[in-house]
Structure 1
């Protein structure tokens, strides 16, 4: 049974479809400007759904008859606003088109790592599903089958199957139990915020409910990409289109004052540097005693911090725009849906407002990884970094996709401003070969400093994980290699 006594599920999130008055308060815009802002955002959202629909083949309904990736919706969680008297009416918008579906929060913990018996585990999962959905006929532990999925580096992930499923409930679920110590350097509140937004746009699985140390999600009938898949030209181009769509969300989810002042790269690096020095230094030293490379890095820590400052200068010179970035687009976070072949991006733990160059460079760095290798899965093979031709093929697709998105977003913004109706067709965009080549060359220059930034980011992450994680992975070796590459690139 879950370790905490529960009074039953309660809604976690309240609606937040910002009214013009609320937007004006948050941004300093006039009420008239805020009305236009809200209308533009609502129409941009519809436009982006239409674009995504135009890029995928027709798909049949899920076997459950209830859930659809593209059309599933959740309520927006409330933003952290300054103290003020805001009425309930101010948190709604007349232009909102979202359904009233609540995400439920249970005051329980799902103890997985304490070695429960199979019978105990099944009973815990059954209770969780009953609390989330409150079905008329309760799920019995005898109906539950749980299989652990491999590949997750910060969580324990399970596929849950009900046989037979109760009426009106899905047959399969994804159960995610957070790893030990992860909340010290990862904002679950921020992750859940973005999950709820992205679900409404069809960018990820439906979020059913959360509990003290994990969450229950829609299970997507899919296969996870393998390391060799992302090297296939057609798959790489598909990923480039997906990435451009995510980046375009910054036009809909404006930063305002929420987490937009500091890109996630520096928010994480600065936070993790403080965490390492103030709270994790001793356990990291203990974890690194068997690694001469790691100990050398720790013994020269001031030198590494100086290189971080040098990197800040290089990043500033790159003038990379702030977008909505996934920031962890490795092959294990990309699914191929079985019914259409469409690629779906999952696991938005590190998503947020970030540099475009970081997201692209980080994806390229992930070409070097093979987390499913039987021996030394923590080591990167630097020879597997994409070649110039592979990078340019990715970037050409990204450039063309971005141009298409930008043109249609501008068109919809103009339509809203002039109070016209939405067009039935999307605008086609034709770029000259010269324009594409120039943009690709500019992108290559832009992402250059972010290769080092990726190694720094995940190297610090690895050190913290080495001091706290219970997952069987050589975080010390991983951190040592990533930080060594960072140091080499900056020197």
Structure 2
């Protein structure tokens, strides 16, 4: 197979998903990113590339790659540089140790399946510790944006589309539909096909955690159409450290809390099981440009084209889950990382209200794990305490043992 010569070559249009046996390093991010991009697009030149670092996320490294095209004006003879946003790509390198939290093969499967439904940008390639895909134009929202009528209406429409159109059973077959993976050697630039008979997990660097409890959770069978929320929570708790008495006691307490929620709250399996994004914080909600100004990937408009339109990015936590959890989880993100509970909406459907305590449990456990593995400058331990407190406040209200409702509970219950 020869190298691509078309400047607009899209690896996603070739034989299956491309795999680059390269690893992104924070030691020299621009050099690593350049190597990855030029391996994927061998006709591009390093001097024509610019990288823009995004700082909205607290888990992964995000770099936008733009390619400058230089043309010469015939009349003046002067050079003119331009950028075609249709070529712009996003390089996403995983945070260190996050495979404990996230099934990266499943994330790739999610992205591929959503792209088939025009709800995600084309997935171009996978490398040892990340993905490359087309850039989504638009404006990243802030927490205050989420509570504005034009944005929350657009989010409701798009999330409703996800919940209605994405078949959770068909999602399970997406990995097979991806077909053979193209593996490009950075030395030769010549792609070869990797078929399912090969050791794909080894090639993609997808080794499992050595934690026995986490592995036991991973081995459980989940039927198509079943919620994966509870399995995920169990897996995360199993990955928590227990090397000290304090750690072991905290881990045992969280395990007991999960058992209590499953056995006593009535939440497991409540309502419709949908394909949930499960991470709709403001940084993952993009307000799209007006139709006449769009470049690059954008999903189809919903409703009137003059209405505000949004799309969602980052699908690493997306799973089949209870609809009420996905919506309650999004409303919890209205408060931002500072957890300003004055921003919580005061009118929600009963199904969503029932799940209001679970996002705090979910992200509290997540933050405890991040506190042990992340190299990012963020106080995960303090964040974990804030989020777990939300869960325990809800539990006290649920059991009728709360002496005084917290601000968050008062906001939720003020409908």
What TM-score, normalized to structure 1?
0.59
Q: Which residue of 2 aligns with 1:306?
A: 256
**What are the superposed Cα offsets for residues 56-102 of structure 1, whole Å, 9 maximum, x if unpaired?**
xxxxxxxx9969xxxx995xxxxxxxxxxxxxxxxxxxxxxxx6563
Q: 1:232: Cα distance to partner? A: 1.1
Contact 1:307 1:490 in 2 (8 A): no
Q: 1:263 aligns with which of 216, 219, 227?
A: 227
Q: Which residue of 2 aligns with 1:185?
A: 101
Q: Which residue of 2 aligns with 1:198?
A: 114
Whole-angstrom CA distance in 1 between matches of 2:11 and 2:346: 39
Whole-angstrom CA distance in 2 between matches of 1:262 and 1:357: 15
Q: 1:305: Cα distance to partner? A: 3.3
Contact 2:284 2:313 in 1 (8 A): yes
Q: 1:316: Cα distance to partner? A: 3.8
Total equivalences in the alignment: 317
Give the secondary-structure state (helix, strand or coil) at the position aligned to 2:365.
helix
Is 1:133 matched up with 2:41?
yes
Is 1:464 matched up with 2:372?
no
User: How do 1:97-246 and structure 2 match up within 5 A?
Assistant: 102-111=16-25, 113-114=26-27, 116=28, 121-134=29-42, 138-164=43-69, 170-246=86-162
Q: 2:345 aligns with which of 375, 380, 386?
A: 386
Give the secondary-structure state (helix, strand or coil) at the position aligned to 2:355.
helix
| Cα separation, partners in 2 of 1:300 and 1:324, compared to 1, 3 Å | closer
Give the secondary-structure state (helix, strand or coil) at the position aligned to 1:451.
coil
Q: 1:320: Cα distance to partner? A: 1.7
Give the secondary-structure state (helix, strand or coil) at the position aligned to 2:143.
coil
- Between stretches 249-258 and 175-184, larger displacement belongs to 249-258
Contact 1:307 1:487 in 2 (8 A): no
| Cα separation, partners in 2 of 1:73 and 1:260, compared to 1, 3 Å | farther
The structure with the largest helix share of the pair is 1
The structure with the largest strand share of the pair is 2
Q: Which residue of 2 aligns with 1:488?
A: 393
Q: Which residue of 1 aligns with 2:313?
A: 346
Contact 2:17 2:125 in 1 (8 A): yes
| Cα separation, partners in 2 of 1:259 and 1:141, compared to 1, 3 Å | farther
**What are the superposed Cα offsets for residues 92-126 of structure 1, whole Å, 9 maximum, x if unpaired?**
xxxxxxx6563210111011x22x2xxxx444323
Q: 1:448: Cα distance to partner? A: 2.7
**What are the superposed Cα offsets for residues 32-55 of structure 1, whole Å, 9 maximum, x if unpaired?**
xxxxxxxxxxxxxxxxxxxxxxxx
RMSD (CA atoms): 3.2
Q: 1:460: Cα distance to partner? A: 0.3
Q: Which residue of 1 aligns with 2:237?
A: 273
Structure 1's unaligned 5+ residue stretches are 1-7, 10-63, 75-98, 286-294, 370-377, 392-443
**What are the superposed Cα offsets for residues 179-229 of structure 1, whole Å, 9 maximum, x if unpaired?**
000011210100100101111211112111110011111112211011121
Whole-angstrom CA distance in 1 between matches of 2:14 and 2:261: 45
Q: Which residue of 2 aligns with 1:422?
A: none
Q: 1:156: Cα distance to partner? A: 0.7
